Amino acid sequence: MAGSRFIPDRGLTTRMVATMALLGILYVAFVIALYLVGMPVVLLVLVVVGFAVLQYFTSDKIAMFSMGAREVSPAEAPELHAVVDRLCAMADMPKPKVAVARTDVPNAFATGHNRRNAVVCTTTGLLRRLDTAELEAVIAHELSHVAHRDVMVMTIAGFLGIVAGFLTQMGLRFAMVTGGSRGNNNGPAPAVVALLVVLVSAVVWALSFLLTRVLSRYRELSADRAAAYLTGRPSALGSALTKINGDMARIPTSDLRRAEPFNAFFFTPAVGGKGFSLSQLFATHPPIERRLAQLADISRQLGTGA
């Protein structure tokens, strides 16, 4: 990958370009469709542009706030900073901000719309459970997301789904309030316009949801590969995966639910038990068995054993 020593992944690059192109086409069609069904132009511009600016420039702050995370200094978290410093030197990449979220949910994530604003965050639950080698492997996984720029792509890709979801909710509420009132100048009734907006938004949300899920699953496998090759210790990443997945079932359901909206950005999804969220089609991550099998293959290639 240009700009870092993480192994390049043309498959990831191709998928990111394809996903952004498809979402771009979907986005244009979405705006045109909203205009054709009668959504006021001023409201359309305010919602679309407003959400775009908000999502792009504040996504990292929103994620940090929602997770109760804060940036920590080297004096506050010397071991964590030492791991990040070492990996950034190995990867030849700028050091991102380092944050810690005070939650027992064992996880980590990277966020930020570009490398200069990138943040790598771990939870106190993760720091408590992993040894240094395992922590290094997980941080390398998150840094690869920053290096490959898929964090930025996922942030932009999530924007369309957020707008569509917002318009779906607002359209339903507006339709309920206006009821059967008639429109002006023999135009369609406000309730009809609202329901058409809901229909268009729901379809767009579903399509954008599926596209981002497909990309999300592949990028996790790509990050596992990149981290394993950078550290040369795929077994440490496999050990971290197994340990976190096993402990996730012991986390209170209320804590898992608070973390669930960020599953697409987490190292491993915040869900209890085994298997996938609803089905493999809707999962944010590939099955842990597939991730462990890939790491075992890399171990054999590197000659380090299982």
* Tokens representing residue 146 in the block: 């920053």
State the pTM of this model: 0.83
Model confidence at 47: pLDDT above 60: yes
Model confidence at 38: pLDDT above 90: no
289-295, Cβ contacts within 8 angstroms, sequence gap of 24 or more: 290/221, 291/220, 291/221, 291/224, 291/238, 291/241, 292/238, 292/241, 292/242, 294/221, 294/224, 294/225, 295/224, 295/228, 295/234, 295/235, 295/237, 295/238, 295/241
CA-to-CA distance for 128 and 221, rounded, in angstroms? 25
The larger pLDDT score, comparing residue 54 to residue 177, is at 54
What is the three-class DSSP state of 9?
Answer: coil
Q: Which range has the worst mean pLDDT, 55-59, 95-99, 230-234?
A: 55-59
Residue 81 counted as an annotated binding residue? no
- pLDDT category, 2, cuts 50, 70, 90? very low
pLDDT given at position 306:
41
Model confidence at 273: pLDDT above 60: no
Q: Which of 71, 134, 142, 289 is catalytic?
A: 142
Model confidence at 80: pLDDT above 90: yes
pLDDT given at position 108:
95
Q: Which range has the worst mean pLDDT, 14-18, 131-135, 207-211?
A: 207-211
Residue 285 counted as an annotated binding residue? no
- pLDDT category, 89, cuts 50, 70, 90? very high
- pLDDT category, 114, cuts 50, 70, 90? confident
The larger pLDDT score, comparing residue 58 to residue 193, is at 58
Residue 134 annotated to the active site: no
- pLDDT category, 225, cuts 50, 70, 90? very high
pLDDT given at position 78:
96
Backbone dihedral region of 164: left (phi > 0), alpha (psi from -120 to 50 degrees) or beta?
alpha
